């Protein structure tokens, strides 16, 4: 249940959720429901490359208002926020690129290199959901 609670940055206005419901209906509790939300975001939001400068600067409401995301962080924020509101437990995860990890270990990393996506609980398991709506669901670790 803690993965359903919105935070200060991810709490969405009811009117934004109603806009999505009007467009796609209420997503069911399946992977198809997750994908319908993800596809809706990708079809209705524009992208502006901010090179990481916008990380943490915009709330989900501000992103929704402008219908713009500025990179993988804000895309994952809006997707995770919407899915939580529709009953899907969600967290954002950040990964580091292998090249950056080697540079960091050597002390030569000049900037962070990685990616942010969402992890969504659906069908009694967690799946990785990239912002382009690609799912990684059969990972055995």
- Is 140's pLDDT higher than 60? no
**What is the pLDDT, as a whole number, of residue 104?**
82
**What is the pLDDT, as a whole number, of residue 141?**
46
Q: pTM of the entire structure?
A: 0.86
pLDDT tens digits, one per residue of 88-138: 999 999 887 788 788 888 988 877 777 899 999 999 999 999 988 877 765
pLDDT tens digits, one per residue of 30-73: 999 999 999 999 999 999 988 778 888 999 999 999 999 998 99
- For the stretch 44-49, contacts whose Cβ atoms lie closer than 8 Å and that sit 24 or more positions apart, written own/partner, are 45/69, 45/75, 45/78, 47/75
What are the angstrom distances between the C-alpha of 48 and each of 5, 15, 27, 71? 28, 24, 27, 7
Determine if residue 7 is left, alpha or beta; phi over 0 gives left, psi from -120 to 50 gives alpha, anything else beta: beta
- Distance (Å, rounded) from C-alpha 124 to C-alpha 140? 15
Q: Which residue in the block uniquely carries the two structure tokens 């939580």?
A: 84
CB atoms within 10 A of CB 60: 25
**What is the pLDDT, as a whole number, of residue 62?**
96
């Amino acid at each position: 249940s803690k993965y359903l609670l919105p935070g200060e940055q991810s709490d969405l206005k009811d009117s934004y959720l109603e806009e999505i419901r009007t467009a796609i209906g209420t997503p069911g509790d399946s992977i198809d429901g997750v994908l319908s939300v993800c596809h809706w975001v990708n079809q209705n939001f524009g992208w502006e490359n901010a090179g990481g400068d916008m990380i943490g600067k915009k709330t989900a409401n501000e992103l929704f208002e402008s219908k713009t995301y500025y990179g993988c962080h804000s895309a994952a924020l809006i997707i995770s926020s919407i899915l939580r509101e529709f009953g899907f437990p969600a967290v954002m995860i950040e990964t580091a690129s292998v090249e950056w990890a080697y540079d960091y270990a050597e002390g030569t990393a000049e900037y962070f290199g990685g990616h942010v996506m969402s992890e969504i609980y659906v069908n009694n398991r967690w799946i990785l959901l990239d912002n382009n709506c690609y799912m990684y669901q059969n990972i055995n670790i």
